[in-house]
A and B are shown apart, each in its own frame.
Chain A
């Protein structure tokens, strides 16, 4: 270290990885800003301070171009505090303050872990500059490296929303203004991934296989549990927050597979998995920002985020509905959209990794993860059939929903642009994947990629535009060919509801929709059902029936509350030593000084 206050000079670096994440931050930020301006015009005043919003974006940009630990932490903390303040926008509500508080606690715990990791790295390499860490990484003591890795995994994993450190996401995202949630969920949590990529591919190389296996296992768990919890939600923004947990899980699967592959010396598998993870980062940022904007639009139009009180919105807000539909299809990994392309790559990289692994037990882990990814994809389809179907289709379930109107042009432009991006990133999957491969030199990609060509990885081939073309051509045939049989007309009539006039109360609800899945996975999600029957006084006639169903928050109860209870108990023990007596405190000081002297002798 040089200079009297080393590290206090801010240093920056710009490489391919910074550029990729910087592009994500910038493009999504511009879109959410356009959306926010439109939103402010319609709904009175900019929600939250514009300057704070700008500070948040700048801090995120600073994080990805920071060149040393000090600069990084400074930017990281600015980012966390700015987003904390933005979450607090609607601070008069108790729920908002509670959510913001838990976010603050989690993000600072995360920073503490990152700080510890950085200090260890700085101590062993004698420098705070990232480039020095990279240079000295191979000489790092394996035990120290593993400790740093675990500290970093907890720190960055918390920011990313990896299970079991995800608990702040479903609290903070719903209460923040929608353009802030879009940015936090679409972009900020990705910076946790950015940190993990830097950590495991630059600062700590080469790592043992179990690091990758751990990331892979945590990723698979996050993906499956994230989507299951999302299915149980009927608050639209909480549902989307849980989907972020799911998608972070998918990204982590790619990242974990890459780390395992590197430790096995399988360059091709590593590059493929890393590209899959980074491609999914880009894709998730695109469709998640789009979906959060959609949720904000619905919230503004209907005055609620509760799915059960929406309904029939597609007729009233057709463009928002179309954009939300495209986003839903993309996040459900349906061809030919972008989510499908990156999940396809993730599947292929897991299979490739399984093939190159020498030991059967090493091969089984990626294959199990592949099974988890398949389950996740199928559940995501179920979840977005529910989210889109209950919100936008059928009859409006509340007067506010019936009176909803389409939102303004700026919001529609922002959502439309992202919807187009979802399609473009899907059709252009091959060039985008090879671009990412070239941008991030670690992943010097073996992927084929002339414009709009195939993504070919040895074990499989996918031409997304080809699939899209085939679908389109056949759709035209299906529309035209039956006309040869002669013209038919269609008549408008009531929906058949067994002879009665259809009312909103007859419709399937979000809760009912998810019930089969809730029961199939009851051992995991632990639904709690509460039925109360009130009888009329003195009779057996039922006066009212009260039914409620909720999901027991397993992690909160068994992990966080358990830790909290232990801490409180420990505090009670420590409290006995603090009885307010001056003499006792002096005795402590005396004992401490004595011990110190004896130890330092």
Chain B
């Protein structure tokens, strides 16, 4: 009983931590990007203001909308919150580690995408359809790449359990610079860029019809449902970043409760570094045409496949 309470507590702790941090990470990336581009940029806490404001606002719902439109934000948020519990962030064992693994994580991403893409089609607006259509097309290439990366990692650590993969890297520090590791890391970075809707795959800061993917699906949302969706998207971003950290830089993760404060510090530091990398990528590249995206994501799949081959041949 005590153990169960502890695990529920741990789940709530990790989920709360990531939920609280998620908008801040987005604010940090926006600010870094602005500085790199010679602008001042919005305040660091702007995403929090936006989310809270949206959550307090009335919503306008399309007369065409069905239950799918109303439920999609809930399902979307629930998927990423559940996914957040599958990744070891502060504690070397993820809160739901016993319930699901890397493949379940990808399944949850797919469920979230299914819900939101349907909501994009629900109101009959062409922007929504365009967003959905592009989202599923990009994901069709990003998802295999993600799974191949996870396979490469699973191969190395002997299982698809994410906590196990993290622990393996902590105990085998030499594995960090293995060729397969570097290839898989490169592949995962590309996948994270595409999945979080960043330049060069998508532009998170624009509502221009011709460039947007993710925002297209959200166009009909307003008020509280939009607030939930925006927060969930921030959560998706931080979950993907955490995944990257857990699989490739898991050092400093606590093994005992007393290590948690240190783990928080280490995690924050790693997030800042990652945020800087992302903002640098965004500032130094132009958005690709949607039909050029297969080349980028194809490269990610190829790198992930090479990582697997390297793992299999070298072992």
Please list the residues of chain A having a beta carbon within 8 angstroms of any beta carbon in chain B: 312, 314-315, 325, 329, 332-335, 340, 344, 347-348, 351, 354-355, 360, 363-364, 367-368, 370-371, 374-375, 377-379, 381-382, 384-386, 388-390, 392-395, 454, 458-463, 466-467, 470-472, 474-475, 477-479, 482, 485-486, 488-497, 502, 504, 506-508, 512-517, 519-520
Contact residue among A312, A371, A496 (Cβ-Cβ distance under 8 Å from B301): A371
Please determine whether A334 and B122 come into contact, CB atoms closer than 8 angstroms.
no
Q: In angstroms, how far is the closest chain A Cβ from the Cβ of B187?
A: 12
- Do A496 and B291 form a contact, CB below 8 Å, given A333-B107, A385-B121, A508-B129? no
The 3 A-B residue pairs with the shortest CB-CB distance in the complex, in nearest-first order? A508-B129, A389-B121, A394-B124
Pick from B52, B64, B158, B308 the residue with the most CB of A within 10 Å: B64
- Bound CA–CA A151/B301 (angstroms): 36
Q: In angstroms, how far is the closest chain B Cβ from the Cβ of A529?
A: 15
Q: Using a CB-CB cutoff of 8 Å, which residues 101-132 of chain B contact chain A?
A: 101-104, 106-108, 110-111, 113-114, 117-118, 121-126, 128-130, 132
Contact residue among A315, A333, A392, A394 (Cβ-Cβ distance under 8 Å from B123): A394
Q: Using a CB-CB cutoff of 8 Å, which residues 199-235 of chain B contact chain A?
A: 219-220, 223-224, 227-228
Please determine whether B312 and A516 come into contact, CB atoms closer than 8 angstroms.
no
Residues of A close to B32: CB separation below 8 A = none
Residues of A close to B67: CB separation below 8 A = 314
Contact residue among A329, A351, A471, A488 (Cβ-Cβ distance under 8 Å from B114): A329
Residues of A close to B123: CB separation below 8 A = 394, 495
In the complex, whether B241 has a CB less than 8 A from a CB of chain A is no
Residues of A close to B172: CB separation below 8 A = none
- Bound CA–CA A181/B130 (angstroms): 33
In the complex, whether B160 has a CB less than 8 A from a CB of chain A is yes
- Bound CA–CA A520/B117 (angstroms): 19
Please determine whether A475 and B75 come into contact, CB atoms closer than 8 angstroms.
yes
- Do A335 and B107 form a contact, CB below 8 Å, given A360-B312, A495-B125? yes
Please determine whether B158 and A459 come into contact, CB atoms closer than 8 angstroms.
yes
Pick from B68, B74, B126, B309 the residue with the most CB of A within 10 Å: B126
Please determine whether A378 and B144 come into contact, CB atoms closer than 8 angstroms.
yes
Please determine whether B78 and A351 come into contact, CB atoms closer than 8 angstroms.
no
Interface flags for B137-175 (1: CB within 8 Å of A; 0: not) read 101111110111001001100111100000000000000
Residues of B close to A395: CB separation below 8 A = 64, 124
In the complex, whether B34 has a CB less than 8 A from a CB of chain A is no
Residues of A close to B66: CB separation below 8 A = 314-315, 392-393
- Bound CA–CA A515/B146 (angstroms): 23
Please determine whether A461 and B101 come into contact, CB atoms closer than 8 angstroms.
yes
Interface flags for B44-70 (1: CB within 8 Å of A; 0: not) read 000000001001111111111011100
Please determine whether A470 and B64 come into contact, CB atoms closer than 8 angstroms.
no
Residues of A close to B129: CB separation below 8 A = 507-508, 512-513
Please determine whether A488 and B58 come into contact, CB atoms closer than 8 angstroms.
yes
Please determine whether A390 and B78 come into contact, CB atoms closer than 8 angstroms.
no
| Stretch binding the partner chain, chosen from B92-100, B245-253, B265-273, B278-286 | B92-100
Please determine whether A466 and B58 come into contact, CB atoms closer than 8 angstroms.
no
Contact residue among B106, B159, B290 (Cβ-Cβ distance under 8 Å from A460): B159
Contact residue among A332, A393, A488 (Cβ-Cβ distance under 8 Å from B223): A488
Please determine whether A351 and B137 come into contact, CB atoms closer than 8 angstroms.
no
Residues of B close to A381: CB separation below 8 A = 110, 113-114, 117, 136, 139-140
In the complex, whether B81 has a CB less than 8 A from a CB of chain A is yes
Please determine whether A478 and B220 come into contact, CB atoms closer than 8 angstroms.
no
Query: Could you write out 23 A-B pairs with CB less than 8 Å apart?
Result: A329-B114, A332-B110, A367-B312, A375-B140, A378-B139, A378-B144, A389-B117, A395-B124, A454-B98, A454-B99, A460-B154, A460-B160, A461-B99, A462-B103, A466-B99, A470-B82, A472-B78, A475-B74, A495-B62, A497-B126, A502-B124, A513-B121, A519-B291
- Bound CA–CA A325/B85 (angstroms): 27
Please determine whether A463 and B79 come into contact, CB atoms closer than 8 angstroms.
no
Contact residue among A371, A460, A516 (Cβ-Cβ distance under 8 Å from B148): A371
Contact residue among A371, A477, A485 (Cβ-Cβ distance under 8 Å from B144): A371
Please determine whether A513 and B154 come into contact, CB atoms closer than 8 angstroms.
no
- Bound CA–CA A47/B64 (angstroms): 35
Contact residue among B56, B96, B220 (Cβ-Cβ distance under 8 Å from A488): B56
- Bound CA–CA A389/B125 (angstroms): 12
In the complex, whether B294 has a CB less than 8 A from a CB of chain A is yes
Please list the residues of chain B having a beta carbon within 8 angstroms of any beta carbon in chain A: 15, 52, 55-64, 66-68, 73-75, 77-79, 81-82, 85, 96, 98-104, 106-108, 110-111, 113-114, 117-118, 121-126, 128-130, 132-134, 136-137, 139-144, 146-148, 151, 154-155, 158-161, 219-220, 223-224, 227-228, 290-291, 294, 301, 305, 308-309, 312-313
Please determine whether B228 and A478 come into contact, CB atoms closer than 8 angstroms.
yes
Q: In angstroms, how far is the closest chain B Cβ from the Cβ of A167?
A: 25
Residues of A close to B228: CB separation below 8 A = 478, 482
- Bound CA–CA A583/B64 (angstroms): 81
- Do A471 and B63 form a contact, CB below 8 Å, given A360-B313, A478-B74? no
Residues of A close to B81: CB separation below 8 A = 474, 477-478
- Do A344 and B74 form a contact, CB below 8 Å, given A371-B148, A379-B140, A460-B159? no
Q: In angstroms, how far is the closest chain A Cβ from the Cβ of B192?
A: 16
Please determine whether B103 and A354 come into contact, CB atoms closer than 8 angstroms.
no
Please determine whether B124 and A507 come into contact, CB atoms closer than 8 angstroms.
yes
Q: In angstroms, how far is the closest chain B Cβ from the Cβ of A396?
A: 10
- Bound CA–CA A492/B220 (angstroms): 12
Residues of A close to B110: CB separation below 8 A = 332-334, 377-378, 381
Closest residue of chain A to B116 (Cβ to Cβ) is: A385
Contact residue among A340, A378, A471 (Cβ-Cβ distance under 8 Å from B140): A378
- Bound CA–CA A489/B224 (angstroms): 9
- Do A494 and B62 form a contact, CB below 8 Å, given A382-B140, A394-B123, A478-B78? yes
Please determine whether A371 and B139 come into contact, CB atoms closer than 8 angstroms.
no
- Do A493 and B60 form a contact, CB below 8 Å, given A348-B160, A382-B139, A467-B99? yes
Please determine whether A389 and B60 come into contact, CB atoms closer than 8 angstroms.
no
- Bound CA–CA A239/B102 (angstroms): 30
Q: In angstroms, how far is the closest chain A Cβ from the Cβ of B204?
A: 19
Q: In angstroms, how far is the closest chain A Cβ from the Cβ of B283?
A: 27
Residues of A close to B117: CB separation below 8 A = 381, 385, 389
Q: In angstroms, how far is the closest chain B Cβ from the Cβ of A75?
A: 39
Residues of B close to A492: CB separation below 8 A = 60-63
